[in-house]
Amino acid sequence: MAGLRELLMVGPGGLRLAEVDPRSTPGLPEQRVVGDDPKQWSKTQVTAISEELNAYQERLYASAKEGATNRRVLLVLQSMDCGGKDGAVRNVTQRMSPAGMKAVSFGPPDQEERRHDFLWRVRRALPPVGHVGIFNRSHYEDVLIARVHDLVGEDVWSQRYDLINDFEAEQAAEGLTLVKVMLHISKDEQKKRLLARLDDQSKHWKYDPGDLDDRARWDDYQRAYEDAINRCNTAAAPWYVVPADRKWYRNWAVATLLRDAFAAINPQYPEPKFDVTAERAKLLAADG
């Protein structure tokens, strides 16, 4: 179970994105039948892992109900446009309950958010005890787009790495398990997906002409991602880089990373605070 985490976790030596092949598929289980359609294999696997996630989620939720835990889980997804964040979320969570889950997409900060420090809206969006949070983009945008497009000066963004590390360490100490995942796609794959968006009327709403401006700054973004990942890759909150040109691998890898994070927590149902036998007798005695 720990295999994939170790394979995809950024090591202490740091990361060079150019050395990660976005089409690679590290860590696939050996018992996978060779010759199987990998898409079908992944679909079945992801559904099964999502069932496991649902079981873990229920136990986490239950343990928090009795006040026995301060545990919370947060999946942070970052990627270039078309990296597959929405698709990964929908597939990974398919068997989970929306009741104990909070999914938040971070766009450009609104007027009120801009009047606060960059972590203000992030703190407000954190999952409460017993819940699972999902961040589609995150506070990392404040050292990515903010840096690449000079939304703030270098004197501002360059201080944010330490602020992020302090914030994440503080949250980890307060029971938050962070699973930070970069979905790593190639420039070619992004082009294919942008074209697909333009060629499908039902996908036009996902397209923004600004996407091409970001694409023109591809190398700057890759450098900004490398710095964000290398400078904020801590023991309390490590980064995982998932090759994401193949959607079937991406879904399987994200589901597995999240499942393994839950397995490490291994939340347990709480002991009942009532006398089971007495309640049973009372229920049976009360009426026919």
Q: Which residues bind a copy of itself (CB under 8 A)?
A: 54, 62-63, 65-66, 86, 89-90, 93-99, 101, 103, 105, 134, 136, 187, 191, 194-195, 198-199, 201-202, 204-207, 209, 212, 215-216, 269-270, 272, 274, 276, 279-280, 282-284, 286-287
Closest to a copy of itself by CB, 54 vs 165, is 54
Half-sphere exposure for 268 (CA within 13 Å, toward CB):
4
Q: Which two tokens stand for residue 2?
A: 């720990």
In angstroms, give the least distance from the CB of 60 to a copy of itself: 11
Closest to a copy of itself by CB, 61 vs 157, is 61
Give CA torsion, residues 182, 187, 188, 190, to 10 deg. Answer: 60
In angstroms, give the least distance from the CB of 119 to a copy of itself: 22
CB 238 within 8 A of CB 9: yes
Closest to a copy of itself by CB, 13 vs 272, is 272
Calpha distance 248→88 (Å, rounded): 9
User: What's 240's DSSP letter?
Assistant: E
In angstroms, give the least distance from the CB of 286 to a copy of itself: 6
Closest to a copy of itself by CB, 126 vs 169, is 126
From residue 106, give the alpha-carbon distance in Å to each of 17, 35, 103, 141, 241.
Answer: 24, 40, 10, 9, 20
In angstroms, give the least distance from the CB of 109 to a copy of itself: 16
